[in-house]
Structure 1
Amino acid sequence: MSHLPIPLSVLYAGLAGTLIALVVATATNKWSLRVFFLLALRIAIGWHFTFEGLHKIHSIHTGVTDTNRPFSSEPYFKVAPGPLGAQMRKQFSDPEAEIAKKVRVSESISRAEFLRLSPEEQAKKCPEEVRNQFDALESNAKQLAKSEAERELKDATTAEEKAVKGATEAEGKATKAAKTDAERTAAKTAGDAARAKAKAEGDKAREAAQKKLESHEKTGDELVLAVKAAYARWVYGADARPAQVKFISGDLQLTAPQRLDHLEWVRKEARDAEERQSLGLGNGTGTDSKRVAEFRMGAITAEADLARDANAFIDELKKDLGFKPDPNATPELSVGQRMDRFTMWFLVVVGSCLMAGLLTRLACVMAAGFLVMTYLAHPAFPWYPLPPNTEGNPLFINKNVIEALALLALACYPTGRWLGLDAIVLRPFCKCNGCPA
């Protein structure tokens, strides 16, 4: 238990006390083996739940290290094929919803037709969800244009001063090396010409920068228009972006319509593979099962990758508008991440109740319900891939089912009154003071 901040002495003392209490409770019930094994089963399951929850809590508080990864159920649900799998994945992220809002278009326009549109018309074709994000940065874009103009204005003055200084130094060296009045006059004339040229170039650069400064609001609007058009060109297939997709090796340049076509192809292959395997009631060869799992995972991955790449492109364009994410900002937890926090404390509380014999029957039912939900996300059906880190080769029945049945069996007995706080807490609600053997 080195991964938990619990001294081994405390752990061993608790184990010894639990064993003694188990023996005393068995003796009190006339050394009934039924009582002993039911109590041992309850304590063992409670121990499993409690320390699994404590380990998850500890991993969250420790953070990312070389030997620790914070607990997240997202990888488990990412490949979950069961009835609850898709719903649970959406609690962490909903790639299909992201794709529908940011990649799919409401009207069909060919690439040639889109390219004939003006930049303003192309910008209007940008998906509304993305367009709104860019519009929200309009003031940033104007401030960026203003800052750029001010920088150019300052750079123009600096460049002029440097050029004048260089011309003066060159004149001084030429004058010092001159041996005749004519040479000295020529050096002065060259110096004056260089200074005049530097001043003229400086005035020209300052004038251009000043015009930019005066029209920075218009420039900001043009920046927003440009990023909208750039995103729309990708969405409507006019421009391609680097992409890596499953089943196709190498770096590619793909447009959004091409990515959507690939996604639909992978989904169709997954459906066809599942249909072929279902004709044999799922009892295909290992190759069949592997192919189905590969295409199913390929569809999930392609969907997530497309949503991720679309958001990455949006963030890249936002930077062109002067957007700078706050490095100290705490990212908002998704519903799935909040569920993870609830889950780890749920395991600790329910496990502790089972070990302490407090509200035992309720704890058994709640723990069994949790295991059933986990099973429904990743059923041990032969036509589904095995969950990550699965031991053995379960067929319909896995460890979650067995443990859930054991908990429901425990809920049928008053084990909390044989050994636990239920003997005190529930005494006022019991009709008899004695406990059945």
Structure 2
Amino acid sequence: MSHLPIPLSVLYAGLAGTLIALVVATATNKWSLRVFFLLALRIAIGWHFTFEGLHKIHSIHTGVTETSRPFSSEPYFKVAPGPLGEKMRKEFSDPGAEIEKKVKAPKSISREDFLKLQPDEQAAACPEEVAKQFDSLEANAKQIAKADAERELSDANAAEEKAVKDATAVEDKATKAAKTDAERAAAKAAGDTARAKAKADGDKARQVAQKKLDSFEAVGDDLVKVAKVAYARWVYGADARPAQVKFITGDLQLTAPQRIDHLSWVRKEAKEAEERQSLGLGNGSGTDSKRVAEFRMGAITAEADLARDANAFIDELKKDLGFKPDPKAVPELSNGQRMDRVTMWFLVVVGACLMGGLLTRLACVMAAGFLVMTYLAHPAFPWYPQPPNTEGNPLFINKNVIEALALLALACYPTGRWLGLDAIVLRPFCKCKSCPA
């Protein structure tokens, strides 16, 4: 228990007090073994729930350390094959939806036909979800164009001033070294020519910069269009980007359609592997289970990688439009992360109610419901891979089912009135004294 901020002496005192209370409650009920084991079962499950929740809460408050990480159920649901698995994964992130919105081409245009389009038409073919992000940075792009034009104008003035000074310095040096009037005249003529050239070059550079400054809004629009075209060219297969594919060493250059085709193939292989294993009873050999798990994980990873790479490409293009993420900004919690917070407190509250015998039957039903939901995310079906760190070889029935059944059995008895706060809280609602015997 060293990972929890609770002194061991307090834990030992609590255990001793619980044991004494259990013995007293059993003695009060005529040393009934049924009373003893039902109460012991309730307290044991409550202890399990409470300290599981406390550990999760402590990990969140401690943060990342060398030996632990904050609690997150995302890795568990990431590989969950059950009916609730996919739904729960989407509460953390939904790479499939991102691929539909950002990676799949919104229009049915072949690569060859896309290459024939004008830049404006290619920009218009950019996925709407991505185009909106670029359009939101239009003002930033215009400010960048304006700042670049002003910088070029300033650089032109500085360059002209430096060139004039250099020409004058050369003239002065040549004049001092001159021995005749002709040589001095030649030095002055060369200096005048150099200064005139510097002024002409400066005027030309200023004209270009001023033209950009006068039309910085149009230049900003062009920057947005360039970003849209660059992304659309990847989406429609005109350009490739670095990508990593499992079983292939090194980076590949793949277009978005090629990535989508690969993802479809991986999904198909995973589905066929599951169907082959579902024909038999049991999880098969360790090799079979491992292969199915690898295919499933490969499909999930390929999907997440594609969504991540698409977002990375978008962020790269947004930086060219002046987007600068706030380093101090706190990322918004996803629905899954919020559910994690609720879950860890739920475990503590329900566990404490079970140990303290408060609203015991309701707590038993709620705890059983939680276990049922956990089971539906990772059911012990023979055609599904087992969750990480599973002990034994459960077939349809696993520890979650057994614990849920035990809780429902406890809900059938007034154990909270035998030992717990229900004897006080529910006394006004009880018409007769309950007898366990």
Q: Residues 123 and 226 of structure 1 are in contact (CA less than 8 Å); yes or no, is this contact kept in structure 2? A: yes
Q: Residues 417 and 435 of structure 1 are in contact (CA less than 8 Å); yes or no, is this contact kept in structure 2? A: no
TM-score by length of 1: 0.94
- Matched residue of 1:371: which SS? helix
Q: Structure 1's 275 and 181: CA in aligned 2 closer, same or farther, altered over 3 A? A: same
Matching of residue 112 in structure 1 with residue 124 in structure 2? no
Amino acid at match of 1:377: A
1-structure distance, mates of 2:173, 2:433? 113
Q: Residues 414 and 434 of structure 2 are in contact (CA less than 8 Å); yes or no, is this contact kept in structure 1? A: no
Matching of residue 15 in structure 1 with residue 10 in structure 2? no
Report the CA distance between 1:40 and its aligned residue: 1.8
291-300 or 8-17: bigger deviation: 8-17
Paired position in structure 1 for 2:72:
72
- Superposed, 1:218-367 pairs within 5 Å as 218-281=218-281, 284-367=284-367
14-23 or 345-354: bigger deviation: 14-23
- Matched residue of 1:272: which SS? helix
2-structure distance, mates of 1:117, 1:282? 56
- Matched residue of 2:293: which SS? helix
Q: Residues 381 and 396 of structure 2 are in contact (CA less than 8 Å); yes or no, is this contact kept in structure 1? A: yes
Report the CA distance between 1:218 and its aligned residue: 0.3
Provide the alpha-carbon RMSD of the alignment.
2.0
1-structure distance, mates of 2:72, 2:181? 85
Amino acid at match of 1:379: P
2-structure distance, mates of 1:326, 1:202? 39
2-structure distance, mates of 1:2, 1:190? 85
Q: Aligned residues: percent identity?
A: 86
Runs of 4+ in 1 over 6 A off after TM superposition: none
Q: Structure 1's 385 and 283: CA in aligned 2 closer, same or farther, altered over 3 A? A: closer
Report the CA distance between 1:88 and its aligned residue: 0.9
Matching of residue 93 in structure 1 with residue 93 in structure 2? yes
Report the CA distance between 1:134 and its aligned residue: 1.5
Deviations 1:44-72 (A, max 9, x none): 21111111111111211222232231111
- Matched residue of 2:253: which SS? strand
107-116 or 69-78: bigger deviation: 107-116
1-structure distance, mates of 2:314, 2:388? 33
Q: Residues 416 and 422 of structure 2 are in contact (CA less than 8 Å); yes or no, is this contact kept in structure 1? A: yes
Report the CA distance between 1:200 and its aligned residue: 2.6
- Matched residue of 1:242: which SS? strand
- Matched residue of 1:5: which SS? coil
416-425 or 105-114: bigger deviation: 105-114
Paired position in structure 1 for 2:148:
148
Amino acid at match of 1:426: L
- Matched residue of 2:57: which SS? helix
Q: Structure 1's 336 and 180: CA in aligned 2 closer, same or farther, altered over 3 A? A: same
Paired position in structure 1 for 2:374:
374
1-structure distance, mates of 2:179, 2:412? 117
Q: Residues 380 and 386 of structure 2 are in contact (CA less than 8 Å); yes or no, is this contact kept in structure 1? A: yes
Q: Structure 1's 32 and 140: CA in aligned 2 closer, same or farther, altered over 3 A? A: same
Report the CA distance between 1:103 and its aligned residue: 1.5
Matching of residue 165 in structure 1 with residue 165 in structure 2? yes
TM-score by length of 2: 0.94
1-structure distance, mates of 2:269, 2:4? 45
Matching of residue 129 in structure 1 with residue 129 in structure 2? yes
Deviations 1:181-237 (A, max 9, x none): 555555444444433333332222222111111101101111111111111111111
Structure 1 spans left out of the alignment, 5+ residues:
none
Report the CA distance between 1:153 and its aligned residue: 1.6
- Matched residue of 1:253: which SS? strand
Paired position in structure 1 for 2:24:
24
Aligned length: 437
Q: Residues 53 and 346 of structure 1 are in contact (CA less than 8 Å); yes or no, is this contact kept in structure 2? A: yes
2-structure distance, mates of 1:283, 1:386? 9
Q: Residues 52 and 348 of structure 1 are in contact (CA less than 8 Å); yes or no, is this contact kept in structure 2? A: yes
2-structure distance, mates of 1:170, 1:40? 100
57-66 or 81-90: bigger deviation: 57-66
2-structure distance, mates of 1:316, 1:158? 32
Report the CA distance between 1:255 and its aligned residue: 0.6
Structure 2 spans left out of the alignment, 5+ residues:
none
1-structure distance, mates of 2:197, 2:317? 39
Paired position in structure 2 for 1:210:
210
2-structure distance, mates of 1:171, 1:16? 100
Q: Residues 241 and 255 of structure 2 are in contact (CA less than 8 Å); yes or no, is this contact kept in structure 1? A: yes
2-structure distance, mates of 1:347, 1:283? 31
2-structure distance, mates of 1:214, 1:114? 33
- Superposed, 1:405-416 pairs within 5 Å as 405-416=405-416
